[in-house]
Amino acid sequence: MEKGMVVKALAGKEKNQVFVVIDVAENYAYIADGKRLKKDKPKKKSVKHIQKVSTKRFPIEELEINDEKVNASIRKFIKNL
């Protein structure tokens, strides 16, 4: 898993929902959808419970910005897949 990847949750409350990977740490990925799971409070999810769904990537430069507009960008990016 890498930052900016588009993934689908395979287990848990978020099952079958699409997310953007915000950060990666060992066997975990921090995911956000811009709605319920914001960029500043992402969900910690095991990499075995998520699956890559698109070759498109969310721009990593935008993930570095701390602004509410990033969440709107994530929502728009996921919607347009």
Closest to 6 (Cα-Cα) out of 64, 57, 43: 57
pLDDT digits (tens, 9 = 90+) for 7-65: 999 999 999 999 999 999 999 999 999 999 999 999 999 999 999 999 999 999 988 88
Looking from the CA of 10 toward its CB, the CA atoms found within 13 Å total 9
pLDDT digits (tens, 9 = 90+) for 67-78: 889 999 999 999
Is residue 66 helix, strand or coil?
coil
Is residue 64 helix, strand or coil?
coil
CA distance linking residue 47 with residue 1, whole number of Å:
7
CA distance linking residue 42 with residue 44, whole number of Å:
7
User: 63 with 22: CB under 8 angstroms?
Assistant: yes
